[in-house]
A = this chain, B = another copy of it.
Amino acid sequence: MATGARRGPYICGIDAAMDVVSGKWKSLILWELANYGTRRFGELRRGLPGVSEKMLIQHLREMEEDGLVHREVYREVPPRVEYSLTEHGTSLNEALRSLGTWGTARCERLAAEESLVS
């Protein structure tokens, strides 16, 4: 969905938002950038354990194209690139907060059930 026919006709707002957030690491990138304000590529990679360089770049590029992320290149050697959230990225992260709260509650529910079983 990320590289294919995006920006297709959306059925509702959820569709349009999910299209932009769907991607294994996107919500985490959003969270990381919202927390630190500005992060270099390597910092993001180390901050998201398990992410591959390919996917990190691919997601960052898509989020830049979607107007969520700002990419600032400093022409130095070794190169330095800093990523930060745009206004839309910040508002998206805020819009995700209630979903995060729900997910946290779900985690606690699962943990409670787990402790009953064991």
Contacts and interface: CB of A to CB of B under 8 A. Distances in A.
Interface in A92-110: 92, 94-107, 110
A41 interface: no
B14 A103 contact: yes
Interface residues of A, number: 34
Interface string A7-47: 10011111111101110000110010000000000000000
Contacts of A11: 28
B27 A100 contact: no
Given A13-B100, A99-B13, A106 B28 contact: no
Contact of A100 (B17, B97, B100): B17
